[in-house]
Amino acid sequence: MERTFQVDLRGIVDLFSRHLYASPRVYMRELLQNAVDAITARRALDPDAPATVSIEPPELTGDGTLRVHDSGIGLSEPEVHELLATIGRSSKRDELGLARHEFLGQFGIGLLSCFLVADEVRVTTRSARGGPTVEWTGLADGRYRVAPAARERVEPGTTVTLSPVPGMARWLAGEMVHDLIATYGDALPVPISIAGRRVNSGALPWQNGYPSPAARAGALRAYAERVFGFAPFDVIDLAVPEAGLAGLAFVLPMAANPAAHAGHRVYLRRMLLADGVDKLLPEWAFFVRCVVDTGELRPTASREALYEDDLLAGTREALGAQVRDWLVRLAATDPDRLRRFLAVHHLGVKSLALHDVDMLRVVDRWWPMETDAGPMTLADFRRRHPVVRYTATADEFRVLAPVAAAQHFGLVNGGYAYDIEIMRRLPLLDPAVDVRRLDPTELATRFEPPDPVLEARMRPFLVAAAGILRGLGCDVVPRSFDPPALPALYLTSRAAAQAEEMRSARASADELWSGVLGAVDTTDAAHRPQLILNLRNPVVRRVAEVRDPSLAALGVQALYGQALLAGHHPLSPEDGAMLNRSFLGLLDWATGAAGAR
């Protein structure tokens, strides 16, 4: 047996009017939308029909109500029953239910927003197609009535009268109404007046006729300061014809949080949709704020966001391409200005360079990376070094950069966001470029081994040092290298690091998994970490000549611990214990020697 749904009209009214919209302020947007759409419909029949919207706040009506008059097409009594009493029914859709492009509203629920501020909504209307004036009165509890109007309208059109809910009268007051019109309806092409005085400009910021480029730049700067709260670094003109979109992108003069969603001001056929619309641009373009007007992108039912569909996705890609083209032009025409921009917004540009070759070229040529020879662009670095070697972390770079610089090795800090990915993409610009992560043991190949006489003299010390560190899985290697101020360097290859991770995993695993990990652990002695003792360092030379074995052992332990700490290497419990023993032992020896004196 087939049945129809039972609808609680009071609940539906409450759902749409109180939960669909984020704020009571949208009621004015919906009233203006209905008025402009009615005028658009009338002018489709009569191009010479008047186009006016006039508003009487409670200060003028004298009875606490707000009245909105329009010279639109109006409604006949059958249309009142069909459209105003059926939630979701709209005259602004065609017979297939598709949105008609010339209208702002499409969903047939906009009038319900008035119940955010009013407990009674009265619509007095006369159709331009003929017929008497009809009055529809809707109540917040879901009831409505339709009757002939007590007074006939002279001209076609509609008047909406709102009687405020107790406590909501401030939303209907004249000053508030003026502010809401300035927010939502300032750019509408229809004159909107309060007490006979027009209160909207009827133009979008890029549509005003400016006498000169300088005047335009000054006006747009003032607009950005008023709307977004900043003086823009630059202004980019935007246009996506397939979306009926035109507008501006204002480049932020200060750094922005890449993780924060950028809110853009979006107009729909010159009616403000919302100030905080996100996902209009690609995520990498977080350094711009946009104001756009669109005729084709679809709003959500609440008209406070854009509907995610293929057209919006294509528009997002096109707008991103226009921002990107601005950056490419800036690189070609004003390098100094580009550098100032990159100093603030390099994260967005580097993010874009991960999938755009032109932006990769901009980063390669203009963005200074941190290298062992100071800040340098990758293009300059490649001219000096045949191989682009990089460290995986900033800590590793800080330790190895002075050593690499002294050996003229060439090293780039890959510890910042996107830098490693950018360097790995360099072969797209130059197929001959060699990019590789530094294996720290490569540095040791540049160090000088000791001469045979010195090595023979140091042999007892080196044998003792090797015995001290053997239990920690570390070899001792004497070498001479710059800078002399660095006494020791703890170097571990990637294979050794992986072996250490394997041993840690085995130690914490149960018996079964410990056996499995042991079976795949193929580490040999060739991959053990190395403590490189710098023979050019005077402290190392003096420690090597100490005749007291226990004091020499403390010196070796201290050099080992200092190298671990300087390199920001993780300390095992055994490492920590040795570092503690060396510190206390040297302190005890120093205080004892001082007491003996």
**222-274 per-position pLDDT tens digit:** 999 999 999 999 999 999 999 999 999 999 999 888 777 778 999 999 999 98
Q: For residue 199, is pLDDT > 60? A: yes
Q: Which element (helix H / strand E) includes 376?
A: strand 374-377
Closest CA to 444 of 373, 371, 530: 530
In terms of average pLDDT, the best of 79-88, 475-484, 495-504, 567-576 is 475-484
Per-residue pLDDT at 591: 87
Per-residue pLDDT at 584: 92
* Mean pLDDT score, 482-486: 93
* Mean pLDDT score, 479-489: 94
Helix, strand, or coil (residue 468): helix
HEC string for 385-396: CCEEEEECCHHH
Alpha-carbon distance of 235 to 413, in angstroms, equals 34
Position 95 confidence tier, pLDDT thresholds 50, 70, 90: very low
* Mean pLDDT score, 1-25: 64
Instruction: Please give the domain boundaries of the chain with CATH numbers for all domains.
Output: 9-198 (3.30.565.10), 218-333 (3.30.230.80), 367-438 (3.40.50.11260), 452-493+529-596 (1.20.120.790)
* φ, ψ dihedrals at 67, nearest 5°: -125, 135
Per-residue pLDDT at 99: 41
Alpha-carbon distance of 471 to 574, in angstroms, equals 9
Q: What helix, strand, coil percent values describe the chain, rounded to 5?
A: 45, 20, 35
Alpha-carbon distance of 240 to 219, in angstroms, equals 23
Alpha-carbon distance of 428 to 435, in angstroms, equals 12
Which sign does the torsion angle of CA 469, 474, 478, 481 carry?
negative
Whole-Å CA distances, 515 to 150, 390, 471, 499, 523: 94, 36, 22, 15, 15
Please report the beta strands in 225-283, taking only residues with DSSP state E, as ranges in sequence order. Answer: 234-240, 245-251, 264-268, 271-277
**Strands 118-126 and 157-164, bridge-based pairing:** antiparallel
Is 234:340 a contact under the CB 8 Å cutoff? no
* Mean pLDDT score, 441-456: 90
Strand-pairing partners, residue 4, are: none
Q: Which element (helix H / strand E) includes 134?
A: strand 134-139
Alpha-carbon distance of 555 to 539, in angstroms, equals 9
Residue, of 87 and 400, whose pLDDT is higher: 400
Q: Which long-range contacts (CB under 8 A, 24 or more apart) does 9-13 make?
A: 9/142, 9/143, 10/141, 10/142, 12/87, 12/142, 13/87, 13/112, 13/115, 13/140, 13/141, 13/142
Q: Which element (helix H / strand E) includes 72?
A: none
Furthest-apart CA pair in the chain: how many Å?
Answer: 119
Q: For residue 509, is pLDDT > 60? A: no
Per-residue pLDDT at 87: 57
**Strands 288-294 and 264-268, bridge-based pairing:** parallel
* Mean pLDDT score, 264-292: 93
Alpha-carbon distance of 292 to 273, in angstroms, equals 10
Whole-Å CA distances, 495 to 404, 472, 521, 529, 551: 21, 16, 11, 9, 33
* Mean pLDDT score, 387-402: 93
Q: Which long-range contacts (CB under 8 A, 24 or more apart) does 378-384 make?
A: 378/412, 378/422, 378/423, 378/426, 381/410, 381/412, 382/426, 382/430, 382/433, 384/410
* φ, ψ dihedrals at 13, nearest 5°: -60, -45
Note the pLDDT tens digit of each residue in 335-345. Answer: 999 999 999 99
Q: For residue 522, is pLDDT > 90? A: no
